[in-house]
Structure 1
Amino acid sequence: MKKPWILGLTGGIGSGKSAVAQGFIERGVHVVDADHAARWVVEPGRPALAKIAEHFGAGVLQTNGELDRAALRKLVFADPEQRRWLESLLHPLIGQEIVQVLARAESPYAILVSPLLVESGQRQMTQRVLVVDTPAELQIQRTITRDQSSEEQVRAIMQAQASREERLRHAHDVLVNDRDMAWLDAEVERLHNFYLTLRGGQP
């Protein structure tokens, strides 16, 4: 069997990546989510969690021994140095995890969904990049509604992610997600049919 080619799917926070990924899953495409891989590598009993607790102290753990993401997020977003330390620990582990899951794909192409596709170097694992693009104000609105976070928090996360321009520079395909779900689904259908015609991600 031919190995599937890999499509990178990215977009800023609140852009609708998950909704787009879900559309591809419903069409039988194997999807790997870097966020899920990132959660898995810090589960209790995995070496990364012990290193994080050792570095940041027990304050980043919940009483049940799981990672307290909110506490860790506060620490790393406030201090670029700490964020770099955490990324250098986790990115290689997340990368290994993603590679293993992608290797099990049986669809003609597989998708790696990652909010940090461009800035984490995960783009190197893909043959083509699809960016879900959304006007910044809409991104902020959606995220506040979804996560009950403050506008300030959302803007801080957007600052830490690649800029829109940077993401779009790497895009082969752009899906502007500023309409309703029916329209979005039709766009996914159109892209899916196009991707099925590609070999190795190229026309």
Structure 2
Amino acid sequence: MEENTAKKMVVELIGGVGTGKSRVLDILKEDYQAVVIQADEVAKHLEEKGQAGLIKLTEAFGTGILDSEGNLDRAAFAEKIFQNPEALEQVNVIIHPLVWNWIYKKVREIQKGLVIVETAVPDKNPGDIYDEVWYLYTLRETRIRRLMENRGYSREKCLQMMANQLSEEEYRSLSDRELDNNGSPEDMRSQLKSVLGQRFTKG
């Protein structure tokens, strides 16, 4: 069967940690053949040895952020910046422009179909690259429970991470559409079908 992918649609999917974006991305890939670009994964790539991101981070924070082989010591660095709002902001100023430039280039290379750019930190200067911005909403306590069960985080760490991200109101103000991810996968499929219809499905 041919895929109904004649038209290109680019969506930014935003939402905080623990909102269940991975589950939604899986549905979008399975049901709508979406090409998914995750900002966190792009950032990790740019923070690898020899990449521009790590070079700039080392210039800003010193070689103490590296392990014995010259790679970023991610666990130690994450603990350091999440407890220091100024350091976290400095990292964002360094990494985010590199990430978005990489993403813009990738999106422009894709000629058709559904493209999802997933991020917890929304693009501040998107221009006209996105057709829509979707906010994924999940109850605060559900997010905390997921993080504690799936990642082994303490409640304190969950709250600290959430405090370092945008509030629900801020996410909503940046979005064109809200998806409720408090239900089952079938509930989410129903919401996505109401938005996308038969576009990008196999048929």
Asked if these proteins are the same fold (TM beyond 0.5), I'd say: yes
Inter-partner Cα distance in structure 2 for 1:156 and 1:22: 27
Q: Per-residue deviation at 1:3?
A: 7.5
Q: Does residue 65 in structure 1 map to residue 70 in structure 2?
A: yes
Residue 22 of structure 1 is matched in structure 2 by 26
Q: Does residue 121 in structure 1 map to residue 124 in structure 2?
A: yes
Q: Per-residue deviation at 1:59?
A: 3.2
Q: Per-residue deviation at 1:129?
A: 1.1
Inter-partner Cα distance in structure 2 for 1:108 and 1:50: 35
2:172 to 135, 158, 168: 168
Bigger shift: residues 154-163 or 50-59: 50-59
Q: What stretches of structure 2 of length at least 5 have no aligned partner?
A: none
1:104 to 100, 104, 109: 109
Q: Per-residue deviation at 1:84?
A: 2.0
Q: What stretches of structure 1 of length at least 5 have no aligned partner?
A: 197-203
Q: Does residue 54 in structure 1 map to residue 59 in structure 2?
A: yes
Give the aligned CA root-mean-square deviation in angstroms.
2.3
**Paired residue type of 1:121:** K
Paired residue secondary structure (1:131): strand
Paired residue secondary structure (2:68): coil
Q: For residues 155-188 of structure 1, what are the alpha-carbon distances to aligned partners after superposition, in whole Å with 9 as ceiling and x for unaligned?
A: 1111111100111122222111112223223333
Identity percentage of aligned residues: 26
Inter-partner Cα distance in structure 1 for 2:126 and 2:26: 20
Query: TM-score if structure 2 supplies the norm length?
Result: 0.85
Q: For residues 22-66 of structure 1, what are the alpha-carbon distances to aligned partners after superposition, in whole Å with 9 as ceiling and x for unaligned?
A: 211122122211111111111111132123223323332233432
**Paired residue type of 1:175:** L
Paired residue secondary structure (1:81): helix
Runs of 4+ that moved beyond 6 A: none
* CA contact 1:7–1:128 (8 Å) conserved in 2: yes
* CA contact 1:5–1:110 (8 Å) conserved in 2: yes
Query: TM-score if structure 1 supplies the norm length?
Result: 0.85
Paired residue secondary structure (2:109): coil
Inter-partner Cα distance in structure 1 for 2:40 and 2:154: 21
Q: Per-residue deviation at 1:123?
A: 4.7
Aligned length: 194
* Distance change (3 Å), C-alpha of 1:21 and 1:52: same
